[in-house]
Structure 1
Amino acid sequence: MEDLDVIKARVKKLNAQAVQAKMDLHDLSEDLPTNWENILDVAQRAYDAHKNLMAARKEMAAASA
């Protein structure tokens, strides 16, 4: 199992990526119908970012216990 500090650093990085993905999705939605072709790509990136973040948070909680 990884060192708790390493996991925390990864969670922090993944959190920043998830926030950016959320903002990208939000910005895209405000500009619709412009760039509607990008909906699936941007949504998939947001989904993946949040999925990775939730997995890392779960790992951090297990390492903390």
Structure 2
Amino acid sequence: MSGDSEKFWYNLTTGEVEKGFESPSVDRAGPFDTAEEAARAPEVIRERSRAWAEDEAREDGWGSGTTQDGGQS
């Protein structure tokens, strides 16, 4: 865990990039290897959330046009 203290984090509350454990873990996203990567955290989080939602929708059969009993919706 000591290696993470040398990495960069994005503070979700302040929007600032931090090095090491400056703020509580609940406020941090990361770790990232560079400050530039940490600064992109909101974009990365959005991209991953969208991809996860799309994966879940495919797995659940959302938007397939059929109901659970096999009929058309």
Please report the TM-score for the alignment, with normalisation by the length of structure 2.
0.37
Tell which has more relative contact order, 1 or 2 (C-alpha 8 A, sep 6+). Answer: 1
Q: Per residue, is there more helix in 1 or in 2? A: 1
Structure of greater Rg:
2
Please report the TM-score for the alignment, with normalisation by the length of structure 1.
0.41
